[in-house]
Amino acid sequence: MKVHRLMSILLLIESRGTIKANELAEKLEVSLRTIYRDVDKLCESGVPLTTTTGPNGGIHLMEGYSSGLNHLHEQDLMNLYLSGMGIQPVKESDMSIKLNHTLLKLQQHASIDGYTLMENMNKRFHFDEDSWWQDPIRLLDIDDLLSAVFRSSKIRITYEKVNGTSSMRIIHPYGIVVKRADWYVIGFCELSDEIRTFKCERIKAAETLKEEFLIPLNFSLQQYWDASKQAFIGKLIKAEQYHVQLSMSADYARHLSGYEVLSRLKNDSGLLLTINLYDYEYAKSVIYEQLPYIEVLQPEELRKTIQQTLEYLLDKYKNNDPH
C-alpha cells in the first residue's frame, strides 16, 4: 500500500498546488511522521518537493515541474483511487486495461529514478488473483456495473439465485463492495421494493438503462454493509447450532481450545465439555479425528453413529485377513 500512498500524495499535491502535511495525514489516515517519511522518499526518487511555512504554506512542487498527473483524465484518477483502496480490477476487464494505460502515462512522465522504480516493480512483483483449487471467477458484466454506479444509471440484470433459478429485475446501483475476491453491488431493487445485496458473479446479464436515479441522502454504503454483515453473521450463528457433549481427560481438553466451548464441568473421569460443532456432518469429521481421546455422550444420534463406525471397523479388521 505504500506505493499507492505515494501516488495519492502526488495526486493531492498536483491537484491542490500546496497542501499542509497534517491535511495529507488526515486524508490518507496515517501519522504526520509517515507523511514526512513519504515526502522524503519522493524527494529521494527525484520528485522536487519543497515546503514553505506560514498560514498559506505547505508542501508543493517546484515551479515548472509536473509529475505528469495533469495528463490523467477522470477515468484514470478513478482507477488509481480504486487501486489505492485495495480494489484490484477484474482480469481482462475494461477497468484493468485502463488502469494499465494510466500507469503507462505516469511512467512516461516520471523522472529517470521514478521510471526505473516502476520498471523494477513490474519485473519483481506479480499479482495472481486466481485461487489454487477453484476455477477463476468471471464477472461477465463488471464494466457495465461500474459504469452504472458512476453515472447513477438504472440497470436491468438477470440474477441467478443459489438454487439455480433466475429472475430479471431493475436495480438502482448505489455502490459496489469488494470483499477479498468477491464483488457485490448494493442497490434498490424495484422488484422487491427494497435495498438489496447482489453477488456480481451471479449476475448473468446486465443492460444499462437511460433512466437515472438519486441515492437517498441518508444512505451510507459502509453503514449498510456493516449492518448487513452483522445480520448475516447473526443468521449463521442462529442456524449453525449443533451441541455435542464430550467426556475426556483434563489434559486433553487443551486440544479443543480452538472450538466454540459452551460449557466446561469437572467430573470423576476428567472433564465434561459441551462444544458447538455447527452441524451433524462437520461434527462427525471432528469427532473421528479425536476418537482415541474423547467419548461422545450427546446427542444420541452422533453417539450411535460413532458406535456403528467402530463396530464396522472392528469387524473388518477382525475377520479379514490381508494375506
Looking at the structure, tell me whether residues 253 and 161 fall in a common domain: no
Looking at the structure, tell me whether residues 222 and 283 fall in a common domain: no
137-176, pLDDT tens digit by residue? 666 677 788 888 888 999 999 999 877 889 999 999 999 8
CB atoms within 10 A of CB 107: 15
| Cα distances (angstroms) measured from residue 280 to each of 207, 273, 300 | 43, 17, 12
**Helix 32-44 with 2-16: angle, nearest 10 deg:** 90
Looking at the structure, tell me whether residues 273 and 311 fall in a common domain: yes
The candidate with the shortest Cα–Cα distance to 198, out of 155, 152, 238, 237, is 155
pLDDT value at residue 302: 92
- Examine residue 173 and say whether the peptide bond preceding it is cis (omega within 30 degrees of 0): no
Alpha carbons 94 and 166: distance in angstroms, whole number: 26
pTM for the structure as a whole: 0.52
pLDDT value at residue 300: 93
91-126, pLDDT tens digit by residue? 555 555 555 655 655 655 555 666 666 667 667 766
By DSSP bridging, strand 194-199 and strand 182-189 are antiparallel
In a domain, 13, yes or no: yes
C-alpha cell read off for 213:
436515479
CATH number for position 284: 3.30.70
CATH number for position 117: 1.10.10.10
In a domain, 135, yes or no: no
In a domain, 137, yes or no: no
Looking at the structure, tell me whether residues 209 and 247 fall in a common domain: no
In a domain, 308, yes or no: yes
HEC assignment per residue over 17-66: CEECHHHHHHHHCCCHHHHHHHHHHHHHCCCCEEEECCCCCEEEECCCCC
In degrees and rounded to multiples of 5, residue 258 shows phi and psi of -80, -5
Looking at the structure, tell me whether residues 283 and 222 fall in a common domain: no
The total domain count for the chain is 3
Looking at the structure, tell me whether residues 247 and 180 fall in a common domain: no
pLDDT value at residue 1: 44
The candidate with the shortest Cα–Cα distance to 83, out of 42, 27, 37, 127, is 127
In a domain, 214, yes or no: yes
Order of strands across the sheet that contains 153-160 = 194-199, 182-189, 166-179, 153-160, 203-212
In a domain, 130, yes or no: no
Looking at the structure, tell me whether residues 6 and 116 fall in a common domain: yes
Pick the last residue of a domain from 124, 157, 181.
124
The segments of the chain whose pLDDT lies below 50 read 1
pLDDT value at residue 70: 57
Q: What is the CA radius of gyration of the chain?
A: 29
Residue 203 domain boundaries: 142-236
Alpha carbons 211 and 173: distance in angstroms, whole number: 12
In a domain, 132, yes or no: no
CATH number for position 171: 2.30.30.520
In a domain, 88, yes or no: yes
